[in-house]
């Protein structure tokens, strides 16, 4: 069974559209994250939830809205998509938050978003 | 400013050769350092974790070292295989930090 699964894996859409990416983890972890990986392969934190509570909210346009219905799910909704939103978005989970414990991140396979 | 710098940015080696990737960090106070491997089209996977008191840790053909005094870590790959072709990302956790600090990664290509 996949530990962290996200859907869809590929998403191609037009500018101005609204889209969602879903993420689920079956590891029993308390913390989930969304990362954005740009064309230079640099991973940048967007959001972090701990037990459904928003912990980290980086300087991300408010067109991006995370939703955590329970601690096993963290979805990402993006409104009014722009060309610059094209990237690979990774969902991740960890048992601990930040420096508490080992902090190992378990990543999903990524969702490649292409905005035309 | 808490930063993690990796070098080289990219590297090509022949199959069977060894290589060493570098990671320098300014994160303070330091908690731990992880090396992740990211295959093309996949999510990163943890290879090793190093805490303050650890100097060396091995995971198969991967050996990580840590010098907490100079704030440097290296990842040594022995007898490289084609499957080692990937990006290697150094990630540092700071004491009291909620966020992890990611390096820019090294792209390794192992050529036959």
Is the pLDDT higher at A102 or at A5? A5
Nearest-CA distance B26 → chain A (Å): 16
- At residue A40, the pLDDT reads 80
In the structure encoding, which two tokens stand for residue A45, read together?
């934190």
Q: What is the pLDDT of residues A39-95, one digit of tens each?
A: 888 899 999 888 888 887 887 899 999 999 998 999 999 999 999 999 999 999 998
Residue with tokens 């600090």: B101
> A42 to chain B: nearest residue by CA?
B104
Of B31, B36, B98, the CB nearest to A97: B98
Mean pLDDT of chain A: 90
- At residue B82, the pLDDT reads 97
Instruction: Mark yes or no for CB contact A45/B99 under 8 Å.
Output: yes
Q: Which residues of chain B have pLDDT under 50?
A: none
- At residue B94, the pLDDT reads 84
Q: Write out chain A residues lying below 8 Å of B49, CB-based.
A: 102, 104
> Computed from CA positions of residues A64, A69, A70, A75, in that sequence, does the dihedral angle turn out positive or negative?
negative
Q: Buried b / exposed e across B31-59, counting CB within 10 Å, b at 16+? A: bbbbbbbbeeeebbebbbbbeeeeeebee
- At residue B53, the pLDDT reads 87
Instruction: Mark yes or no for CB contact A92/B97 under 8 Å.
Output: no
A–B: how many Cβ contacts below 8 A?
64
Quickly state the pLDDT bin for A98 (edges 50, 70, 90): low
3-state DSSP assignment of residue A85: helix
- At residue B16, the pLDDT reads 97
Residue with tokens 């491997």: B37
Cβ(B26)–Cβ(B12) below 8 Å: no
Chain A interface, Cβ < 8 Å to B: 4, 40-45, 48, 55-56, 90, 92, 97-99, 102-105, 107-110
Quickly state the pLDDT bin for A114 (edges 50, 70, 90): very high
3-state DSSP assignment of residue A29: coil
């Amino acid at each position: 069974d996949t530990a962290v699964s996200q859907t869809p894996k590929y998403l191609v859409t037009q500018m101005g559209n609204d889209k969602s990416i879903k993420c689920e983890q079956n590891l029993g972890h308390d913390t989930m994250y969304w990362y954005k990986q740009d064309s230079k392969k640099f991973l940048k934190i967007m959001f972090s939830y701990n037990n459904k509570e928003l912990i980290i909210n980086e300087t991300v346009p408010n067109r991006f809205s995370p939703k955590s219905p329970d601690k096993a799910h963290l979805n990402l909704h993006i409104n009014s998509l722009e060309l610059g939103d094209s990237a690979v978005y990774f969902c991740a989970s960890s048992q601990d938050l930040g420096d508490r414990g080992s902090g190992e991140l378990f990543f999903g396979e990524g969702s490649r978003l292409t905005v035309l | 400013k808490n930063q993690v710098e990796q070098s080289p940015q990219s590297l090509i080696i022949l199959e069977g050769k060894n290589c060493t990737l570098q990671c320098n960090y300014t994160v303070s106070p330091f908690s731990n350092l992880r090396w992740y491997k990211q295959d093309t089209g996949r999510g990163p996977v943890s290879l090793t974790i190093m805490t303050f008191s650890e100097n060396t840790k091995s995971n198969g053909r991967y050996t990580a070292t840590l010098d907490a005094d100079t704030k440097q870590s290296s990842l040594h790959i022995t007898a490289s295989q084609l499957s080692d072709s990937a990006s290697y990302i150094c990630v540092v956790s700071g004491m009291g930090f909620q966020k992890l600090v990611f390096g820019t990664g090294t792209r390794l290509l192992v050529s036959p």
